[in-house]
Structure 1
Amino acid sequence: MEQTQAIDALAALAQSTRLEIFRLLVRIGPDGLNAGEIAERLGVGASTLSHHLATLDRARLLRSWRVQRQIFYATDYGGTRRLLSFLMEDCCQGRPELCGDGLGTLACVTKQKEPTDEAPAPACGC
């Protein structure tokens, strides 16, 4: 991940509603929620929600897909891992295992290839 992409992702999360959306979708998992359910759970209006979802999507922190007339959203775990890896890649002078709490495992994904249609990223590294 380049520094400008990390800045975009961090800026997207630096707003309370977007952070709530992101954390909700992390808890929900890879199946995600439709936009209406996100709005209902967080008490956010549809137009406001749409703006926030678009911002998170552009920052590569969410992924979306359509099922008939509904749009579903879920955490983009690959993008999220790339952000966390970027933040932690120089942890403990190149010895990320010293960071503890599972942060050392983030360094392992720093060098992973970008997902493709043939080899998508795993849904969650948890």
Structure 2
Amino acid sequence: METSLMLLPQAIEALSALAHGHRLAAFRLLVRAGVDGLPAGDIARAVGVLPNTLSTHLTILSHAGLVRSRREGRSIIYHADYDAMRNLLGFLVADCCAGHPEICAPLAETAQECCPQA
């Protein structure tokens, strides 16, 4: 897992890309789908948008570095970029505790519930 420091312009672009209901829904769907990802048509149906509209949303998410794609035959498979997601989350919570770990404890508990250590 490669984690790097995200700079303010990158964070703004990523947050801006997620600041739309359909894009946020598509990104969350891809996060749940895992590394295998989903075909564009499946994402469009799940999110409830037309394929050409979804294409625009996925392009914005891709330019922000939050999703990646690959071609499989005639399908384009999209998947979340987990390194970019971790970097954005790290940017958002950097210095959140200000020396008071109890502030971030609920966030750590949520992450532990989502992704327990093996």
TM-score normalised by L of structure 2: 0.81
Which 4+ runs in 1 deviate beyond 6 A?
A: none
Mapped partners of 2:21, 2:95: distance in 1: 28
What is the aligned-residue RMSD (CA, Å)? 2.1
Q: Number of paired residues?
A: 107
Q: Determine whether 1:83 maps to 2:70.
A: no
Q: Which residue of 2 aligns with 1:5?
A: 10
Which amino acid is the alignment partner of residue 58 of structure 1? Answer: H
Partner of residue 49 from structure 1, selected from 27, 48, 54: 54
Which amino acid is the alignment partner of residue 38 of structure 1? Answer: I
TM-score normalised by L of structure 1: 0.76
Q: Identity over the aligned pairs, expressed in percent? A: 52
Deviation of 1:64 after TM superposition, in Å, equals 0.9
Encode CA deviations 1:48-98: one digit per residue, 9 max, x unaligned.
000000000111111111111111011110000000001111121256675
Structure 1, unaligned runs of 5 or more: 107-124
Closer, same or farther in 2 for the Cα pair 1:42/1:66, shift >3 Å?
Answer: same
Q: How does 1:43-122 map to 2 (within 5 A)?
A: 43-93=48-98, 99-103=104-108
Deviation of 1:46 after TM superposition, in Å, equals 1.1
Kept in 2: contact 1:9–1:56 (CA 8 A)? yes
Higher relative contact order (CA 8 A, sep 6+): 2
Mapped partners of 1:60, 1:97: distance in 2: 32
Deviation of 1:99 after TM superposition, in Å, equals 0.8
Structure 2, unaligned runs of 5 or more: 1-5
Which amino acid is the alignment partner of residue 5 of structure 1? Answer: Q
Q: Which residue of 1 aligns with 2:43?
A: 38
Which of 19-28 and 7-16 deviates more? 19-28
Encode CA deviations 1:16-36: one digit per residue, 9 max, x unaligned.
110110111112111110001
Mapped partners of 1:86, 1:17: distance in 2: 23
Kept in 2: contact 1:89–1:96 (CA 8 A)? no
